[in-house]
Amino acid sequence: MTARASGHVRPTGARRSWWLREALAAEAAADPGLASPDAAPPLRGTTTADVAIVGGGYTGLWTAIRIAEQAPGARVVLLESDICGGGPSGRNGGFATGWWDELPTLIERHGVSGAVSAALAIDDAVDEIGTWSAANGVDAWYTRRGTLSVSAAPAQDDKWVEAVAACAATGYGDRYQSLDPQAVQARVASPVIRAGAFMPVAATIQPAVLARGLRRVALERGVVIHEGTRVEELDGERPGWLGGIGSGGRRAQAGKTGRPVRIRTSGDGPGEVIAGSAVVGMNAWAAAWPSFGRRLVTWSSYIVLTEPIPDRLEEIGWTGGEGLADARFTLHYLRTTRDGRIAIGGGGGRAGFGGRIGAVFTDDATATARAEAGLRRLFPSLRGVRIEDAWGGPIDISADHLPSIGTVPGRPIHFAQGYSGNGVAPSLVAGRALAGLALGTEPVGLAPEAAEALVGGRARAFPPEPFRYLGARVIREAIVRREAIEERGETAGPVLREITRLPRRLGYHLSPD
């Protein structure tokens, strides 16, 4: 890829993200055996497992590690079509943030006490990523300096007011506080940033180092990992390009428990796992499967990375290590790196069709241009700074923008899905809950009120394809256009505003108002 001072930067496409390339290089230098394909070879032939896990991102790996801790004799087999961390867990922005900005939605969904318990569980997860990494020798650049939500246009000025008030009203006013413009500028100086809010329990990490560290620890605890192994059929169900609707072959009969789950794979030839139960941590890929697809819309998110600019960070005063996000619905999220770069993502990706996770998620130069334009707008003084890398990935959006953790009715198949672009900390909690579901125990390390709030509910379904794709595409583009108009200090026309309000009118938390 050619580094450019401005204009379009070609994303990495099928190549690894910058984070993952760094992490794999460090891993190979530290322990060539661990990095070799022999550590996690593709599955060949038939094997058995107490628990089979599909997906080698944070969800699958945390679940595997918790099961290994709770039931050391259990045979856990994890199946990953790529390599562990090859998906969004190795290519995200690395924000581990609390849920206090989601408190009003959480209260709507779980009541005050459930909402607060859930938010406290996510706070614990933010902290535990740090303590776990330190205890297990994973240097994931854990930096717990909080995160700032900022307004970068008049239309964004009051976006956090409701959440800040809900935190104060529930006795957790210290978890999300408004900051006046001077206080924001003292942390990061920008001519377009107006006011903001600060969430102290938030960290940034090198996401791929965490994913690969989880893989190492899982292997050390006896988890059998098969990379390069794609699950083609799960308990009689197959993925379909229409998002699993009307496709996918024979559905297993609901209500039959106590029978094993049969999983067929491809990779180095056909493979099969016969497991007592299964855990699905497929993220956006779940959109292709009949049991999961209707509750997800897939969306792309892209990140661009600057050259190292530590002295320029000094100039804008952004040396505290805080995460930063503007208050657009199609938000820009920014963080600094250990070597003084800025990584900025978002600004509006595209909808995927059905269950297809194709080039739109990894090779969309328009999306990286949008992320880069966000950087240049927020920090005009960085105009000449080169963009050195860019990459993207899919996110799994749920109707209420919050994850669902549960069990497919009548089948020993457990899942976590719908992180909606905020999965780094929640996936740790999901791992605890999924381990409990798979082992038939209460989740360990999760308060009962939090477990009650977080486990068992399911976000509402989306319309079938092609309506899901068309709706998501039209509305999302309308939101991007409206927010661009508002950033210029203008008011969007009534038709555009009405289109962007449609999701909320239909009961989906997927639009700004």
Q: Under the rule (CB under 6 A), what is the footprint of ligand FAD?
A: 54-60, 79-82, 86-89, 91-95, 230-231, 281-283, 285, 301, 303, 333, 345, 392-395, 419, 421-424, 427
Q: Which is nearer to ligand FAD, 63 or 511 (CB)?
A: 63
Distance CA 152, CA 266 (A): 48
Nearer to ligand FAD, 422 or 500 (CB): 422
Nearer of residues 242 and 499 to ligand FAD, judged by Cβ:
242
Angle in degrees, 0-180, between the axes of helices 103-135 and 161-169, rounded to the nearest 10? 80
DSSP letter for 218, please: H
- Which CB atom, from 212 or from 377, has the smaller least distance to ligand FAD? 212
Instruction: Look at residues 313, 309, 312, 330 and name the one whose alpha carbon lies nearest to residue 322.
Output: 313
CB of 281 to ligand FAD, least distance (A): 5
Taking the complex as a whole, the smallest distance from the CB of residue 90 to ligand FAD amounts, in Å, to 7
Which is closer to ligand FAD, CB of 62 or CB of 462?
A: 62
Select 178 or 204, whichever has its Cβ closest to ligand FAD: 204
How big is the chain by its Cα radius of gyration, in Å?
A: 22
Closest residue to ligand FAD, judged by C-beta, is 423
Peptide linkage before 466 cis (omega within 30 of 0)? yes
Closest CB 504 distance from ligand FAD, rounded Å: 23
Nearer to ligand FAD, 248 or 421 (CB): 421
Closest distance to ligand FAD from the beta carbon of 87 (Å): 3
Closest approach, Cβ 241 to ligand FAD, in A, equals: 13
Q: What Cα–Cα distance (Å) separates residue 282 from each residue in 288, 435, 463?
A: 10, 16, 21
The minimum distance between CB 4 and ligand FAD, in angstroms, equals 20
Residue 170 CA to residue 187 CA, distance in Å, equals 27
Tell me how far the alpha carbon of residue 216 is from its chain's centroid.
Answer: 21
Q: Which has the closest alpha carbon to 200: 177, 181, 180?
A: 177
Least distance from C-beta 391 to ligand FAD, angstroms? 7
3-class DSSP state for residue 415? Answer: strand
Min. distance of Cβ 71 from ligand FAD in angstroms?
21
Q: Which is nearer to ligand FAD, 185 or 289 (CB)?
A: 289
Q: What is the DSSP string of 149-202?
A: EE-SSGGGTTTTHHHHHHHHHTT-GGGSEEE-HHHHHHHS--SS---EEEESSE
Closest CB to ligand FAD among 89 and 247?
89
Q: What span, in angstroms and rounded, lies between the C-alpha atoms of 5 and 429?
A: 40
DSSP 15-59: SPPHHHHHHHHHHHHH-HHHHSGGGSPPP-EEEEEEEEEE--SHH
Asked whether 504 and 513 are in contact (CB, 8 A), the reply is yes
Minimum Å distance from CB 178 to ligand FAD? 23
